[in-house]
Amino acid sequence: MAFDIAQFHADAVSTPSHEDVTEMRDLLVDTLEDAGLEPEVDNLGNVLATRGHGNADGPHIVLNTHIDTVAPHVPYEREGDIVRGRGACDAKGPLAALLAAFLRVEPEAGTLTLAITTDEETLMTGAAGLEESLAPAADRFIVGEPTDLDVCIAARGQCEGTITIDGESGHAAKVPADRNAVFGLSSVLEALRSYDDDAGPGADDVLGEPKLTATMLEAGEAPNRVPDATTLTFDRRSVPPETSESFQGALQEYLEERVPDALEASVDLIRPDTPFPKAFVTESDDPLVQTLADESGGEVRPFGAATEAGFFATHAPTVVFGPGVLSDDEGGVAHAEREYVRLSDIETAADTLESTLESLGI
């Protein structure tokens, strides 16, 4: 079967996958079956397909991206080389390029696996599952995201959490200031400002500084009553070796030393039972990085958003690569109403991936 990149991409972008990925997954599975392959859908909903002979002496390279998108759905529209619509660049454009390369390459010495997840934009349980089931057996990963055909070798991790300040509730005329949870915010905010200077992991050579941002506040129900608690929500962008778990513990300890004794502050992660994207850095001199950069002509740099790549990078060299951009001179592109990609960039990405895989001895 001759794989038509433009038609597959049009079908994919036209297929909503912001609430339910079933129809989009069926499109992917049907496309693989039409190519004579036998894809598998695992118990987490990931789509897996493998080509090659499973030769232990040859490389095992995994191509990964996701088929879910953010809401709302934006209809497919094409004007010349420009394709607009939800998922055009994040990440159905990269998917089309990965799929084209996967179907074109005829492995002679190694194994090539296509591993497509279904919840990257939400829980990332699919990628976390692949970390256990697939990553230990793989030699390298290429993760499809909009990088403008640059080779991204690092990304900061991300987690979200809350800091709850517990104090004394009661009439505004009666509760002492040192027991007022709202007044306690000042010590917490000051601690957040100083945390990385005093207790953070420091700057990474590739990713730079971590970032800790207060984003939301919740407290009180009446103007004349002091609430018993105030809750602050934060966003954390981490660099290695920090993890969401290590950050939670370190921040808790830091706050305990700085919040007044009359109050109590507790740090909790949002959705602690689901995985958070991990920070990662791949060495710039790895053959995967060098080969892909030579073939693409793109810059070697960090990726600007959270990605599934961190789940795989602890096991094997991992890069993020694909057509499209997260933002341009006019503002946001991925996740925006104006999301778009150049079809020619999808085709270039497919050609680059094909030549890279062949150069790496698949």
Domain closes at, from 248, 269, 290: 269
Residue 132 is assigned to a structural domain of this protein: yes
Domain count, the chain: 2
Say if residue 62 is in the same domain as residue 202: no
Say if residue 250 is in the same domain as residue 294: no
Residue 21 is assigned to a structural domain of this protein: yes
Residue 274 is assigned to a structural domain of this protein: no
Reading the block at residue 58, the tokens are 């040859």
pLDDT per residue as tens digits for the range 288-317 = 999 999 999 999 999 999 999 999 999 999
For residue 296, what are the CA distances in angstroms to 105, 150, 289, 321?
17, 7, 10, 10
User: How far is Cα 10 from Cα 44, in angstroms, rounded to an integer?
Assistant: 26
pLDDT per residue as tens digits for the range 242-294 = 999 999 999 999 999 999 999 999 999 998 888 999 999 999 999 999 999 99
Tell whether the model's pLDDT for residue 52 goes beyond 80: yes
Say if residue 220 is in the same domain as residue 169: yes
Residue 351 is assigned to a structural domain of this protein: yes
pLDDT, residue 1, reads 59
Say if residue 138 is in the same domain as residue 23: yes
Cis peptide before 279 (omega within 30 of 0): no
Say if residue 249 is in the same domain as residue 176: yes
Residue 247 is assigned to a structural domain of this protein: yes
Residue pair 47/113 in contact (Cβ under 8 Å)? The answer is no
At residue 130 the predicted structure's pLDDT band, cuts being 50, 70 and 90, is very high
Mean pLDDT of 311-329: 97
For β-strands 340-342 and 151-155, DSSP reports them as unpaired
Domain closes at, from 269, 287, 320: 269
Tell whether the model's pLDDT for residue 54 goes beyond 90: no
CATH of the domain at 165: 3.30.70.360
pLDDT per residue as tens digits for the range 165-224 = 999 999 999 999 999 999 999 999 999 999 999 999 999 999 999 999 999 999 999 999
How many angstroms separate the most distant Cα atoms in the chain?
79
CATH of the domain at 118: 3.40.630.10
Say if residue 37 is in the same domain as residue 73: yes
**Taking CA 303 as the corner, what is the angle to CA 306 and CA 337, rounded to the nearest 5 degrees?**
65
Say if residue 161 is in the same domain as residue 148: no
Rounded to 10 deg, the angle between the 5-14 and 22-34 helix axes is 160
Say if residue 161 is in the same domain as residue 141: no
pLDDT, residue 342, reads 98
Reduced 3-state DSSP string for 174-231:
CCCHHHCCCCCHHHHHHHHHHHHHHHCCCCECCCECCEEEEEEEEECCCCCEECCEEE
Mean pLDDT of 119-130: 96
Domain closes at, from 249, 269, 289: 269
Better pLDDT: 273 or 361:
361
Residue 32 is assigned to a structural domain of this protein: yes
Residue 150 is assigned to a structural domain of this protein: yes
Tell whether the model's pLDDT for residue 57 goes beyond 80: no
At residue 90 the predicted structure's pLDDT band, cuts being 50, 70 and 90, is very high
Say if residue 220 is in the same domain as residue 135: no
Residue pair 75/14 in contact (Cβ under 8 Å)? The answer is yes
Say if residue 146 is in the same domain as residue 196: no
pLDDT, residue 274, reads 85
Say if residue 145 is in the same domain as residue 167: no
Q: Which residue, chain included where needed, has tokens 């909790």?
A: 268
Residue 240 is assigned to a structural domain of this protein: yes
- The residue segments making up the domain with residue 197 are 157-269
For residue 96, what are the CA distances in angstroms to 6, 61, 77, 101, 184?
8, 17, 16, 9, 51
Say if residue 346 is in the same domain as residue 232: no
